[in-house]
Amino acid sequence: MEHEPSENQPEASDSRTASEQSTADGPSPYVPAGKSVAELTIKAVGMGLALNVVMLTANMYLGMRSGMTISASIPAAVISMGLFYGLRQVGIGGSILENNIVQTMTSAGEALAAGVIFTIAGVTFLDQPINIVNTAVVAILGGLLGVLFMIPMRRYLIVDKHEELPYPEGTACADVLEAGSRGDEGVKLISVGFLAGFVYMWLANGMAAFRTTIQTAFSAGETDGFAIGGDFTPALIGVGYIIGPRIAGYVFGGGLISWMMLIPLLITGGFVPESAADAALMTQANEVWDEYIRYVGAGAMIVGGFYAVVSMRGTIADALGTAAAEIRDSGSDATADRKRTQRDLPMKVVVGGAILIALALVAVPQVQVGLLGGFIAVIAAFLFVAVSAYLVGVVGSSSNPVSGMAVATILIAALALRSTGVTDPVVVLVTASVVAIAAAVAGDTSQDLKTGYLLGATPRKQQLAQVIGIAVSALFAGWVLSFFDQAYGIGGNTIPAPQAGMMALISEGVLTGTAQWGMILIGAVFAFVLILMDVPVLPFAVGIYLPITLATPIFLGGLLRAGIDRYVARRDDEDGTLAEHATSRGRIVAAGLITGEAIMGIVIGALYITGTGNADGAPFPLGLDAGTQSILGVVAVVALVGLFTATVLWNAPETEATDQ
């Protein structure tokens, strides 16, 4: 659909996107600063909240299943454009800045989900139930810290560092919102992906028509315990496509080191838990991974988290200087006369809100991390908000190492709290939860503010939209987490929640003195070597910690992205039009796959809870034998990859490139 100039829709001066139009002072926004355009309207808020809950649920499922979450900004922008397009047909219209508010509120739910599932979900590994009220309180406090702490950093990171920090999702989202003619196509693409993921998982888990998991363990000479396999589901393949072959390769490389090197060496050396000593090789491999390898991954993540903080020290200092200047100028005429596109929430609100949240962390009964825990949470949250906001500007939100920041916080909090006599690991988890949620939300907030900066949105209205989105997400987070725990059991085969398990493992191990410090040291040294080689630590660490069955399909998705990119490159012209088209289409379809699988996970989970089927069997099985299910599983994966490829490349724009 094309943007028609109206009272709510300014006419662009040329055909370039917001990220391309610029002046000597920075990019020229799509909506001029002097023009008043509808933004934070009732229909935008209502639409944003509805999509917020959907993306919250989808990302909580995805994150506990694969150990990764994805940015919801672009899918939300595409869906909102389609909805506004439908409203326009009945005479209700909507401006581009209303679209921006919708995607801002929607992605707030996705960001908060990441922090919750990586930390709060860990209480289930400590034999504690999910407390819905407690989860909501911790989530809203952490989420608000993320929004508030990002406000004084906006001018420095988003405006002053515009050329240095591209914020890939934020910039892409601005381009997508401007390219309104692609809105109708985008809705079709995400619908294809959604239906494919939905039907695929219904056939697999609802009717047991085929198996998604194929794995094996074997010996090589006198060395036992090699294990390889994959759980080839739409969501995991979609994640691999979105993060791309490079990051997917790092994750898979970490998995190979764990399952094809470390585990065989430990099993051959006799490091096998008694419960698996006489069991099959696959059982032994899983037991060794659970008993030892997860600590190696934790050690690597700890070093990766601290390295991120050290490498960000200059940015943190600059952000503090910017914040101090904002406070000094808060009552001046210069502040009052700022352009619409430069108005943030007042610094008094930021400082006062942070103080109130710090007090709540100590005083609210549902939290009560104590004075020391509250102090650690607030200081660590500020530091990691800066780290997160900067890192996503370079690598994007989907690669934001929130879990590494949470691990670093857990180690600091556990050691500090242990010295004061604290023995409850849940207290450590709650402290880390505040930090993880704040860091995740800050990364998402910075992407959204970048989009708004390019489009000419009012920062204050975006920040209010984020606060509303965080509040609603927090209210639903505990319910959704509890639902998945009842349906599948957090930590089980369907939703292993690897990060949450690791957080609980480290918290309990440090407090009780049972942590595998030798394995943690091995992981730390390994991470240090990767840093010396200039290799990203955290993707490797995630791969070490994940079961190989999750790393493999993610790598397949990355290979699919590489294959499509290479095919497109051979046909593309010099300006990369076809490559850009295919990349955008692929991300939208992949987002649809993830959402479709997540929603089907809710459907099947609801059937389990109501007594139809059980977690070990499909609700409506076809009765096929295991061999047939495995063969059909391979056919299903090939069909899914074929459908994905055809959808991405179908109706691609022709180029004028010719052989010279």
Q: What is the pLDDT of residue 470?
A: 93
Model pLDDT for residues 380-421, shown as the tens digit of each residue: 888 888 878 877 776 566 556 677 677 778 888 888 888 888
Q: Residue 611 in 3-state DSSP?
A: coil
**Distance in angstroms (rounded) separating the CA atoms of residues 158 and 453:** 8
Asked if pLDDT for residue 15 goes beyond 80, the answer is no
Its pTM stands at: 0.73
C-alpha dihedral, 339 to 340 to 344 to 348, nearest 10°: 70
491-511: average pLDDT: 84
- Would you say 393 and 161 are in contact if contact means Cβ atoms under 8 Å apart? yes
Model pLDDT for residues 354-376, shown as the tens digit of each residue: 899 988 888 887 777 778 888 88
- Would you say 556 and 232 are in contact if contact means Cβ atoms under 8 Å apart? yes
Query: What sign does the dihedral 104-463-448-477 (CA atoms) show?
Result: negative
- Report residue 269 as tokens: 């050396």
Asked if pLDDT for residue 267 goes beyond 70, the answer is yes
Q: Residue 324 in 3-state DSSP?
A: helix
Q: Residue 93 in 3-state DSSP?
A: coil
Q: Residue 416 in 3-state DSSP?
A: helix
Task: Give the pairing type, strands 26-27 and 223-231.
Answer: unpaired
630-651: average pLDDT: 92
- The residue extents of the domains of the chain are 202-248+551-649
Asked if pLDDT for residue 21 goes beyond 70, the answer is no
DSSP states along 118-152: HHGGGGGGGT----HHHHHHHHHHHHHHHHHHHHH
C-alpha dihedral, 472 to 474 to 479 to 484, nearest 10°: 120
Higher pLDDT, 309 or 15: 309
pLDDT-derived band at 209, boundaries 50, 70, 90:
very high
- For residue 458, the surrounding DSSP H or E stretch is none
- Residue 621, Cβ neighbours under 10 Å: how many? 12
Q: How far is CA 102 from CA 173, 264, 389, 541, in A?
A: 12, 50, 21, 34
Query: Which residues, at least 6 apart from 560, have a Cβ–Cβ distance to it below 8 Å?
Result: 237, 240, 241, 641, 644, 645
36-46: average pLDDT: 88
Q: Residue 490 in 3-state DSSP?
A: coil
Asked if pLDDT for residue 457 goes beyond 80, the answer is yes
Beta strand ranges found along 307-395 (DSSP E): none
Q: What is the pLDDT of residue 10?
A: 37
Higher pLDDT, 430 or 460: 460
Name the one residue in this structure whose structure tokens are 């099947």: 604
Query: Which residues, at least 6 apart from 111, have a Cβ–Cβ distance to it below 8 Å?
Result: 143, 146, 397, 440, 441, 443, 444, 445
Q: What is the pLDDT of residue 182?
A: 46
Q: Within 13 Å, how many C-alpha atoms sit on residue 364's CB side?
A: 19
Of 648, 652, 639, give the one whose Cα is nearest residue 197. Answer: 639
238-254: average pLDDT: 86
Query: Across the chain, what does the average pLDDT equal?
Result: 81
**Distance in angstroms (rounded) separating the CA atoms of residues 508 and 236:** 30
- Would you say 139 and 113 are in contact if contact means Cβ atoms under 8 Å apart? no
DSSP states along 266-305: HHHTT---GGGTTS-HHHHHHHHIIIIIHHHHHHHHHHHH
* 230-244 core/surface letters (b: 16 or more CB in 10 A; e: else): bbbbbbbbbbbbbbb
Residue type at position 497: A
Residue 216: strand pairing partners: 228
